[in-house]
Amino acid sequence: MNTMDVLKLKIKADRIVDCIIFSQRMSKSWKFPSFLLNDEQMLADYFQPAKEEFLSLHPDERRMMVEWYEQQLGQEIVPLYDGEFSEDQHHSSPPKCNFLKLSQNDSILYRHVVSDFMRKVFANTVSEEEKDRVEMAFLNDPQLLQKTIEENTK
Give mean pLDDT in consecutive 10-residue pieces for the chain, a chain of 154 residues.
Answer: 92 90 82 92 90 93 94 90 78 76 94 93 84 95 92 76
**CB-based contact 148:135 (threshold 8 Å):** no
Predicted pLDDT of residue 153: 73
Query: How many Cβ atoms sit within 10 Å of the Cβ of residue 145?
Result: 25
| Burial (CB count <10 Å: 0-12, 13-18, 19+), residue 94 | middle
Q: What does the alpha-carbon distance between residue 74 and residue 54 come to, in Å, rounded to a whole number?
A: 19
| Run of H or E residues at 20 | helix 3-21
The predicted model scores a pTM of 0.87
Predicted pLDDT of residue 93: 67
